[in-house]
A and B are shown apart, each in its own frame.
Chain A
Amino acid sequence: MTSKRGTLDLLSERAIEALIRLCGISAILFVFGIFFFVFREGAPFLRHLDLGEFLFSKSWIPTSQTVPKYGVGALIVGSLSVTAVAMAIAVPFGLGAAVFISEFCGRKTKETLKIVIELLAAIPSVVWGFVGLSVMSPLLINTFHTPIGVNMLNGALLLALMSVPIMVSIGEDALKAVPDSFREAAIALGATRWQMVYRVLLPASKNGLLAAVLLGVGRAIGETMAVLMATGHSVRIPTSIFDPVRTLTATIAAELGETSKGSDHYQVLFLIGVLLFTITFIVNLTADLVVKGIRKQ
């Protein structure tokens, strides 16, 4: 009887272990699978693609009847610039809010703030896009006296609003993970609350905060619907934050639906997908290296 129980336990243990292992490996399989399929759709075009022109030319005229041009330079600049401006807005607000929630505010305010911020994260991106198009656009025209309301700043503000909730919740977790003994020691040494945050907590939670920021970057660079609606969707190299731009993601979303499968245009759009994949990969890799660098110190 007991030995039977034992083998049964052992078996179920094994089965569960295998299941968990499968779950772990499946993430890798999915990532490589997606990369493989996206790459396979775009790969045939690589043969007659001038990589230099693809990456650096700003002429995106894929449906020309005479000479189609597939330059995504302007789109790369568009994606990166919108994300950069969004982060310039979101990082101070996001991390500031995380510090406030974790260290400064009372229990009641904390609960309310957390609920409201989670609500902010639950707003679908198409709703954000709509806000950008119909609320922010006239507001920007009248406030900044710019000719176009759907522009880089509009898109960046939306992206900032969308990535702040992620930064706050991850950032707050990172700060919470710092042991209370750190705080007690700092206060005991006579540090003010701000000194404690600035000199003790921030350095101690560096990795977590960096992860929070990078997740925000990932959210911003991959966002499609809101930027499609709010950035103006215009192929050009922006010269100010009030210029409309076009992002890589928005281009895929706008054009893929109506290209015929297997055409050059279709394949180039998939190559843009590969490019986005590469960009996020580089961002994650840098993050990893930076985190490792910090650990060594």
Chain B
Amino acid sequence: MIPRLNPKTLLAPTVACLAAALMGVGCGGDSPPPAPAKGEAAAPAAPVKKKTIANIGSDTMVNLAAAWAEAYGQVDKSVSVEVNGGGSGTGMAALINGTCDLANSSRKIEEKEVAELKTKMNKEAKEFMVGYDALSIFVHKDSPLTEISMDQLGEIYRDGGKITKWSDLGVTVPGAKGDEIIRVSRQNNSGTYHYFKEAVVGKKSEFKLGSLDMNGSKDVVDLISKTPNAIGYSGMGYATAEVKQLKVSKKKGEPGIAPSIATTLDKTYPIARPMFVYTAGEPPEHVKKYIDWILSDAGQKIIETTGYVPLPKK
């Protein structure tokens, strides 16, 4: 658990010190700082009883959840949201054990989990869809490739897959040195890595070793923009002018679908999934208010700025 410190309690002594220092009185010196300065500084630090919301779950959503929590700190100062990752399963387990108020999940709740929640806590799982996560396939901007199928992606990334060269895909990349496809991937704990594995590589298969495993969504795009031979996946929101997003088709021969908010929402784009938060039963007032805020324009705006796809406007 990351304790969220009330910035005011931290600030107060500093302010008092600064005020004292300005008046020419040393902090911790023998003479006490003049009473008025002390009084002024101490006033805003009066203890406020804070409600906390324990928010555990999906690693894919952990940055998003942290961004929400931070922004919400400005909206409602009486509530502090404590965010933890660990994976969607961890979030569900915490919900079932009653150790969190809000579970983030990048998959739908499983029936088994619904049943456990029912027997253990005697509560119904309540689901809130909060947005979408769509992965774009990126190549260098000079690459002649414009679309790719899910099968081809699988053959490129899967251990034992047959596609290793750009000529296997029928293209030559101008300015590239050599024909080898350089696979850019993510470190093996990231939610993006796991989703890509599930959607493209296959749950039972492994990634081909020897990919360049970047440590962040943005690093993937940066590397591809400087490496003509590279291909990689990252959140849709990370696209820049230096890279090209490929259209993705479900099967070879079918038309490729360009990643966009619209194609994510109508479910034609194949590498996208909804993101959820779950509560056990009806949420208490302060949690309900937080979820409402997430679903409001302010919360949805944060989804967009952190690189995910917001819900369709009603």
Contacts and interface: CB of A to CB of B under 8 A. Distances in A.
Interface residues of B, number: 35
Contact of A145 (B177, B190, B206): B177
A62 B227 contact: no
A259 B209 contact: no
B222 A63 contact: no
Interface stretch (A5-13, A17-25, A28-36, A147-155): A147-155
A233 B229 contact: no
Given A147-B178, A234-B210, A255-B189, A138 B86 contact: no
Interface string B100-125: 00000000000000000000000000
Contacts of A297: none
B265 interface: no
Secondary structure of the A side of the interface? loop
Interface stretch (A53-61, A90-98, A166-174, A187-195): A53-61
A260 B86 contact: yes
A216 interface: no
A254 B215 contact: yes
B226 A149 contact: yes
Contact of B188 (A228, A229, A255): A255
Contact of A150 (B59, B176, B206, B212): B212
Given A61-B206, A64-B206, A259-B189, A244 B212 contact: yes
Interface in B228-256: 228-230
Contacts of A233: 187, 212-215
Interface in A230-278: 232-236, 244, 246, 254-255, 257-260, 265
Given A61-B206, A260-B86, A260-B90, A134 B215 contact: no
B4 interface: no
A138 B226 CA distance: 6
Contacts of B182: 147-148
Interface string A56-98: 0011111111100000001000000000000000000000000
A60 B187 CA distance: 12
A65 B197 CA distance: 10
B211 interface: yes
Given A147-B176, A233-B215, A258-B190, A60 B204 contact: no
A266 B154 CA distance: 29
Interface in A132-180: 133-134, 137-138, 141, 145-150
B177 A141 contact: yes
B209 A59 contact: yes
B209 A60 contact: yes
Nearest to A243: B210
A65 B176 CA distance: 35
Contact of A235 (B203, B210, B227): B210
A149 B87 CA distance: 33
Interface string B182-196: 100001111001100
Contacts of A61: 188, 206-207, 209
A165 to B, nearest CB: 27
B223 interface: yes
Given A141-B227, A255-B188, A255-B189, A147 B215 contact: no
Given A141-B226, A228-B215, 13 more contacts: A61-B206, A63-B188, A63-B193, A65-B204, A134-B222, A141-B177, A147-B177, A147-B178, A148-B182, A235-B210, A254-B215, A257-B189, A258-B187
Interface of A: 58-66, 74, 133-134, 137-138, 141, 145-150, 228-229, 232-236, 244, 246, 254-255, 257-260, 265
19 contacts: A61-B188, A63-B193, A133-B219, A133-B226, A134-B222, A137-B227, A147-B178, A147-B227, A147-B228, A148-B229, A150-B227, A229-B219, A232-B212, A234-B211, A236-B210, A254-B215, A260-B86, A260-B87, A260-B90
Q: For the complex of A and B, list the 9 residue pairs with the smallest distance between their C-beta atoms, beginning with the closest.
A: A258-B189, A236-B210, A63-B188, A145-B177, A254-B187, A147-B178, A147-B229, A232-B212, A234-B212
